[in-house]
Amino acid sequence: MKPAVVNAWSRMVLIPAEEGPWNYRWTSTVVLECTCPPMEIRFEKGQTRGPDELPCRPAPNAMSGGVATAETATLEVDGDPGDLREPRDLRRPSPGPEPRPRSIRKGTVQFGNLLPELPFVAARELHTLDLSLVGLRCTMAPETVLVSDGLVHSFKVAPSEERPDAVNVRVFLEHSVSPATREKAGLPHLVILKFSREPVKKVLRGKSVVIDPGHGGRDKGFRGPVNLLEKNVALIVSRNLYSLLRLADARPYLTRRDDVTIEDFDRLRAATSRGADCLIRIHTSGDDDPDRRAYFVRYSPHLESSRALALEIRNALLERMGIDPALVEWDELGRVPVPVVQVEPLCLTHYSDEANFRAPLFQKRLAQSIFNGLMRWYMEKG
């Protein structure tokens, strides 16, 4: 067997610590599968690259298909939404040790090992990390792999132009962070780059985000052609977003955790009474004509930062999923002294959109996109 790099992929890993349900080590990894160990791994000094130099294609205006093409395997990062637990700060102290939630034990979520056939944009600076695996050839297609997990933006594996017996790897990162390198013998021989997700936590630690899953109880919202209800979709996406924020040490709060009816007044009051940084309302769009569809990120006109937040979430949806929602100023989101954004990433009354909404992976990606947008909003805000 010739010495070669044959495959590459990325995943987010949770390693539970000894105590506490939210106590864990959280990393992003980039894994290179080789037929034998490299003779040497050489790191170039990390540089910062501007958007012009990124290997990104221009984004078209409409959503393209194929959203679920890239996965090799998916393991739940937060399990069934029923696993959701109250964050520690909202719970009464319990006398005994708390059982660790199933979600954390499950461990990892894996993203694609191929570039999804989706456009993506990166209208900001990313950090790069360059390394060479010496003594190997590149037999995998020299592809850019989009990860977009809030830390690893993407990475590219390609033959070295300088020497034929080396493979270059360039990782684009949202934050400046150095990886720990590990190798695991076997076939394939794995070269693992492990990035601490501490910089993501640093941005979001202690941040108060109120997530409002639309509708609930008697109010079902839109109904899909095969009877998927907006209230249920909104709750699942909201819970996924909640889990991600909780992992990042933020202080998310859900206005409803179950299928219950709540008044708009109470949703808004949750945001104001908790002194939240923002209120994210999760809905779907809908139309009387099942062939028509439009997507929106609506923002309240009452605070300027609402628009900035809406823009970041819209950009993140476009980058991660190829969804290009319209940014709409909307006066009916409620007059509260916090930025309010309503995300309607797909149209539930459209057949194929409803099918997408049913896929757990799709629901997680939606949540990850909104998470990425939020993170960038906080980074811009400083």
- The residue ranges that bind Zn ion (CB under 5 A) are 214, 221, 283
In angstroms, what is the minimal distance from the CB of 327 to Zn ion?
A: 18
User: 100 or 283, CB closer to Zn ion?
Assistant: 283
User: 199 or 214, CB closer to Zn ion?
Assistant: 214
User: 14 or 234, CB closer to Zn ion?
Assistant: 234
Q: Judge contact between 29 and 171, C-beta under 8 A.
A: no
In angstroms, what is the minimal distance from the CB of 268 to Zn ion?
A: 15
Task: Give 58's contacts (C-beta < 8 A, 6+ positions apart).
Answer: 119, 121
In angstroms, what is the minimal distance from the CB of 215 to Zn ion?
A: 6
In angstroms, what is the minimal distance from the CB of 293 to Zn ion?
A: 15
Residue 108 CA neighbour count, 13 Å, CB half: 14
User: 179 or 221, CB closer to Zn ion?
Assistant: 221
In angstroms, what is the minimal distance from the CB of 125 to Zn ion?
A: 36
Q: Judge contact between 43 and 135, C-beta under 8 A.
A: no
Q: What is the distance between the alpha carbons of residues 16 and 367, in angstroms, rounded to a whole number?
A: 22
In angstroms, what is the minimal distance from the CB of 348 to Zn ion?
A: 9
In angstroms, what is the minimal distance from the CB of 89 to Zn ion?
A: 29
User: 9 or 222, CB closer to Zn ion?
Assistant: 222
In angstroms, what is the minimal distance from the CB of 227 to Zn ion?
A: 16
Q: How far is CA 370 from CA 91, 174, 208, 374, in A?
A: 26, 15, 15, 6
In angstroms, what is the minimal distance from the CB of 285 to Zn ion?
A: 8
User: 135 or 225, CB closer to Zn ion?
Assistant: 225
In angstroms, what is the minimal distance from the CB of 369 to Zn ion?
A: 18
User: 221 or 325, CB closer to Zn ion?
Assistant: 221
Q: How many CB atoms lie within 10 A of CB 90?
A: 9
Q: What is the distance between the alpha carbons of residues 294 and 68, in angstroms, rounded to a whole number?
A: 20
Of all residues in this chain, which one has the CB nearest to Zn ion in the complex? 283
Q: Judge contact between 364 and 334, C-beta under 8 A.
A: no
User: 11 or 267, CB closer to Zn ion?
Assistant: 267
User: 156 or 283, CB closer to Zn ion?
Assistant: 283
User: 76 or 219, CB closer to Zn ion?
Assistant: 219
